[in-house]
Amino acid sequence: MALDLTADQKDLGRANAATVMEELSRRGFMKSLAAGAGGGAVVTAASYFGYTGFGDKPVRAALIGAGDEGGILVGEHNPDFLKFVAIADIRPSNQKRIIDGDPKVPLRKGFKKVYGQHEASKIKITDNYEELLKDPSIEAVVIALPLHLHAPVAIKAMEAGKHVLCEKLMAWNVGQCKKMIEVAKKTNRILSIGHQRHYSMLYAHASEVLKSGILGDIRHIRAQWHRNNTWPFEWDATKDGALAKNVIQPVYRDGWFNPITQADYDVLNNPKKLKEYGYESVEELIRWRLYNATGGGLMAELGSHQLDACSIFLGKVHPLAVTGVGTKSFYGKGRNDRDSDDHVFVTFEFPGNNYYQKDDNGKVVLRDGKQLLKDKDDVVVVTYSSISTNQFEPYGECVTGSRGTMVVESETNLMLYNEKSPTGKGGAPRATTVAVTGAEKGKPALEASSTWGPAAAAPSSATAVAGPAGTTGAPVSRGYREEMEDFAYCIRNWGKDGYANNLRLPRCHGTVAMADAIIALTANLSMKKRNRIDFDEKWFDPIAKEVPDADQKGRFDDQVFKA
Ligand X SMILES: NC(=O)c1ccc[n+]([C@@H]2O[C@H](COP(=O)([O-])OP(=O)(O)OC[C@H]3O[C@@H](n4cnc5c(N)ncnc54)[C@H](O)[C@@H]3O)[C@@H](O)[C@H]2O)c1
Vertex 400: Cα angle to 396 and 402 (nearest 5): 165
Task: State the Cα–Cα distance between residues 77 and 471, nearest whole angstrom.
Answer: 24
Member of 13, 40, 70, 259 binding ligand X (CB under 6 A): 70
CA distances to 88, 90, 241, 250, 433 from 267, in Å: 16, 9, 14, 20, 59
- Per-residue binding string, ligand X, 160-189, x by CB under 6 A, is -------xx---------------------
The answer to whether 516 contacts ligand X (rule: CB under 6 A) is no
Decide: helix, strand or coil at residue 224: strand
Vertex 342: Cα angle to 338 and 346 (nearest 5): 135
Q: How far is the CB of 411 from ligand X (least distance, A)?
A: 9
Stretch that binds ligand X, among 146-154, 178-186, 429-437, 496-504 (CB under 6 A): 146-154
Q: How far is the CB of 410 from ligand X (least distance, A)?
A: 12
- Per-residue binding string, ligand X, 225-264, x by CB under 6 A, is ----------------------------------------
Task: State the Cα–Cα distance between residues 449 and 463, nearest whole angstrom.
Answer: 23
66 or 488: CB nearest ligand X: 66
Stretch that binds ligand X, among 1-9, 61-69, 464-472, 508-516 (CB under 6 A): 61-69
Q: How far is CA 56 from the centre of its chain?
A: 30
Task: State the Cα–Cα distance between residues 459 and 8, nearest whole angstrom.
Answer: 11
Member of 301, 349, 397, 486 binding ligand X (CB under 6 A): 301
Tell me the number of residues near ligand X by CB under 6 A: 25
Q: How far is the CB of 88 from ligand X (least distance, A)?
A: 5
Handedness of CA 558, 559, 562, 563 (dihedral sign): negative
Candidates 225, 229, 281, 224; CA nearest to 256 is 229
**End-to-end C-alpha distance for the chain, whole angstroms:** 44
**Which of the residues 126 through 145 are near ligand X (CB under 6 A)?**
129, 144-145
The answer to whether 63 contacts ligand X (rule: CB under 6 A) is no
Q: How many CB atoms lie within 10 A of CB 4?
A: 5
Handedness of CA 493, 496, 502, 507 (dihedral sign): positive
- Looking at the DSSP bridge assignments, the partners of residue 508 are none
Member of 45, 66, 164, 445 binding ligand X (CB under 6 A): 66
192 or 207: CB nearest ligand X: 192
66 or 399: CB nearest ligand X: 66
The answer to whether 147 contacts ligand X (rule: CB under 6 A) is yes
Member of 40, 194, 467, 510 binding ligand X (CB under 6 A): 194
Q: How far is the CB of 301 from ligand X (least distance, A)?
A: 6
Binding site for ligand X (CB under 6 A): 65-70, 88-91, 94, 129, 144-147, 149, 167-168, 194, 196, 277-278, 285, 301
